[in-house]
Amino acid sequence: MGERWWCLVTLCGVLSATALANGSKCDLYSGSWVYDDSYPLYDSSKCPHIRKEYDCIKYGRPDLTYLKFRWHPTHCLLPRFDAEEFLKKMSGKKIMFVGDSVSVNQWQSMVCLLHAALPSESNITEETINSTTTVTYEDYGVSISVFLSHYLVDIEETEIGRVLMLDSITDGDVWKDNDVLIFNTWLWWYRRGEKQPWDYIEIGANIVKDMDRMVTFREALRTWADWVDSEVDTEKTTVFFQGVSPSHYNGADWNEPGVTNCGKETVPINGSIYKGGVPAAEKVVEQVLNSVKKQVSLLNITRLSQLRKDGHPSSYNAFKGMDCTHWCVAGVPDTWNQLLYAALV
């Protein structure tokens, strides 16, 4: 039974990957969440890498049902994450997540998934240099990094103050040296006041105090797209862009008008329909990705994550603040990594 199950899973993994490549009916991103008692994929209390913003159980989350859901694509099976298979396939390779704290969220899930599956005597090292934290699986020569970049484009200190440079990506020289890149940016584009880490915006030859933020976001993504087309060797480097990670502060989006956060949510939305629809920023991401000439894949996590109003830390984090933006680890980012796994292995 065990063997047949695994065979089925592997076969379906192969079939779904083929079907995806053909752009035909098996879409790993369309589906629903089903209860699965074999989940979660690891015990978060044993993972040494989780930062205090995402360590929900450690900070007292009492309901644990949110750990028990598996993403079920309607027309195919999502292969189960096999750490050893992954490390063997990626042997000698460097993988880097680039983006804001949501990228850190996915990176932490990835290193926990791997940590949980490896023998305790495995040589795993962790090192932080400048903006990059890297965990290396020395026995496989695989490294998995996260490069913290809120906007992907540069912020430069100048005489007039900090300038968000919509046309410039100097950190790209560090990124393009990797074999797999997974990008993400969105969270910071609407931040203002004390949370805004720049004073001016430079676009073309102009410096302005502020601009329509969605336009600003689109311009930065275009700069990123041009950078991929001109600088990245996609024969060597596989490039993903992560779709917008949704937050849950507006109950009307999930048929609970008047609710203003995720604090009481303990189960996913049943089914595939999210009343809130596709976020405007996600449409921008998809438009820009369509304009990239080189091979870039969308890690289309938006809809499946929208259904997980129960997946956020809410008040169970080190700061006790209400966080319906990030995700508990273990939790929803494990599925993002299963989808990444399906695309890579």
Ligand X SMILES: *[C@@H]1O[C@H](CO)[C@@H](O)[C@H](O)[C@H]1NC(C)=O
Give catalytic residues, as residue numbers: 101, 323, 326
Contact 53, 323 (CB under 8 A): yes
In the chain, where does DSSP find H-type helix?
Answer: 2-21, 83-89, 101-117, 172-175, 213-231, 280-291, 302-306, 332-344
Contact 64, 112 (CB under 8 A): no
Cα–Cα distance for residue pair 96/294, rounded to 1 Å: 19
For the CB of residue 307, give the shortest distance to ligand X in the complex, in Å: 10
Cα–Cα distance for residue pair 240/245, rounded to 1 Å: 14
Closer of 81 and 140 to ligand X (Cβ): 140
Closer of 139 and 199 to ligand X (Cβ): 139
For the CB of residue 10, give the shortest distance to ligand X in the complex, in Å: 16
For the CB of residue 193, give the shortest distance to ligand X in the complex, in Å: 28
Contact 298, 278 (CB under 8 A): no
Burial of 290-321, coded b for 16+ CB within 10 Å and e otherwise, reads eebeeebebbbbbbbbbbbbbbbbbbbbeeee
Residue type, position 281, single letter: A
Residue type, position 68, single letter: K
Residue 304: closest CA among 336, 338, 281: 336
The conformation of residue 64, written as its DSSP 8-state character, comes to: -
For the CB of residue 302, give the shortest distance to ligand X in the complex, in Å: 6
Closer of 201 and 332 to ligand X (Cβ): 332
For the CB of residue 119, give the shortest distance to ligand X in the complex, in Å: 13
For the CB of residue 142, give the shortest distance to ligand X in the complex, in Å: 12
3-state secondary structure at position 213: helix
Bridge partners, residue 148, by sequence: 99
Footprint on this chain of ligand X (rule: CB under 6 A) = 18-19, 22, 24, 27, 29-30, 35, 123, 125, 129-130, 138, 270, 286, 298, 300, 303
